[in-house]
């Protein structure tokens, strides 16, 4: 992989050299605490490597050091990598979390679910709702691992061995036939889940507060920078109409809020337009028309670095496409 990717200084690709220097001591701290035996870390951007480091051992007992080409067993670690790639596409407005996965994988369009009957039998019935992207990210898509009763005993044994190994400590391996009856299925404490739920709820409230504060700040900036006498009322009216249409479509509360925010900020790109255009009483020149046509795309560029507005990209991107290919007459 590194043979194909060139190395570069962090500032050449827009990354912080100071930030990248924190990676090595952070990993060293994990190794010193014996949380991991070793690690290979690499950071690349725009096809260029800006950090590549090796620390620790791949085999502690035999004192075999880690190398840059050490092969790792990924297992479940593919999940966060895939999830990060998916959320990068989400930030670019390529999909919504409520989109059905059958949009890209038609084989999942008409799903069925198994309903347990008497004597352990199953009846297949049509699913009441489609599998959506957020189901996949939260492991709630309903894919069964215990559908075949013949495999149930095997799954239970594997489950018991897994929980026992976790209960014994880090990096422990337990075979199914080494599990004692008293050690089976060590369940997590309900209190832990309650504490985690409380923390997540608190973070959600903070994020909502930050979002509303940023929206308010952008509204004020627009009213100061953009000398358009109709802008304030126009943005409010677009928001009201958009939310009203969303309500008629019976969209979720989450989607209605996202559409409302996107409608309120859809003209933020006008901050890059010359003010004389807003007060011009004669026809616009071709150059001025081109400037006006670009303002939806400019809106997405302004909001892109602000993570809390990633959900506004889809409506704004669609607006930008419409304006560029089927613009209204001026």
CA–CA gap between residue 118 and residue 122 (Å, rounded): 8
Mean pLDDT of the chain: 76
pLDDT at 324: 47
Is the CB of residue 319 less than 8 Å from the CB of residue 296? yes
DSSP conformational letter for 284: P
Q: Following DSSP, what letter does each residue of 22-57 receive, concatenated? A: THHHHHHHHHHTTS-SEEEEEEEETTEEEEEEEEEE
Sorted by where each begins, the domain ranges of the chain are 10-72, 75-144, 146-187, 191-325
Q: Which of 150, 130, 152 is nearest to 142 (CA)?
A: 130
Write the pLDDT tens digit of every residue in 73-110. 777 788 888 889 999 998 888 888 889 999 998 888 88
224 or 328, greater pLDDT: 224
| pTM of the shown model | 0.35
Q: Which of 147, 110, 102 is nearest to 126 (CA)?
A: 110
Confidence class for position 67, pLDDT limits 50, 70, 90 = very high
| 260-284 mean pLDDT | 75
CA–CA gap between residue 269 and residue 292 (Å, rounded): 9
Confidence class for position 186, pLDDT limits 50, 70, 90 = very low
Write the pLDDT tens digit of every residue in 289-306. 877 777 666 766 666 655
Write the pLDDT tens digit of every residue in 258-270. 777 777 776 777 7
Helices (H) and strands (E) in the chain, counts: 12, 5
CATH assignment of 191-325, among 1.10.3210.10, 3.40.50.920, 3.40.309.10, 3.40.710.10:
1.10.3210.10
| 228-244 mean pLDDT | 74
Q: Is the pLDDT score of 321 beyond 60?
A: no
């Amino acid at each position: 992989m590194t043979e194909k990717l060139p190395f570069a200084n962090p500032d050449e690709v827009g990354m912080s050299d100071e930030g990248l220097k924190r990676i090595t001591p952070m990993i060293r701290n994990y190794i010193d605490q014996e949380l991991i035996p070793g690690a290979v870390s690499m950071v690349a951007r725009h096809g260029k490597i800006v950090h590549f480091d090796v620390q620790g051992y791949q085999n502690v007992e035999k004192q075999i050091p880690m190398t840059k080409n050490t092969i790792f067993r990924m297992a479940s670690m593919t999940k966060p990598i895939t999830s990060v790639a998916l959320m990068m596409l989400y930030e670019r407005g390529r999909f919504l979390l409520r989109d059905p996965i059958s949009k890209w994988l038609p084989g999942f369009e008409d799903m069925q679910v198994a309903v347990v009957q008497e004597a352990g039998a199953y009846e297949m019935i049509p699913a009441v709702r489609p599998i959506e992207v957020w189901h996949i990210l939260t492991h709630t898509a309903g894919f069964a691992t215990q559908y075949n009763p013949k495999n149930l005993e095997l799954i239970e044994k594997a489950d018991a061995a897994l929980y026992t190994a976790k209960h014994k400590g880090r990096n422990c391996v337990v075979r199914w036939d080494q599990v004692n009856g008293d050690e089976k299925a060590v369940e997590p404490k309900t209190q832990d889940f309650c504490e985690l739920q409380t923390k997540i709820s608190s973070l959600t409230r903070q994020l909502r507060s930050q979002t509303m504060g940023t929206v308010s700040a952008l509204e004020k900036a627009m009213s100061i920078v953009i000398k358009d006498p109709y802008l304030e009322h126009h943005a409010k009216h677009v928001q009201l109409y958009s939310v009203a249409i969303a309500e008629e479509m019976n969209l979720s509360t989450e989607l209605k809020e996202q559409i409302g925010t996107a409608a309120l900020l859809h003209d933020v790109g006008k901050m890059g337009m010359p003010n004389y255009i807003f007060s011009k009483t004669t026809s616009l020149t071709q150059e001025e028309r081109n400037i006006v046509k670009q303002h939806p795309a400019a809106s997405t560029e302004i909001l892109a670095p602000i993570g809390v507005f990633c959900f506004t990209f889809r409506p704004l991107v669609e607006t930008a496409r419409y304006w560029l290919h089927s613009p209204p007459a001026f």
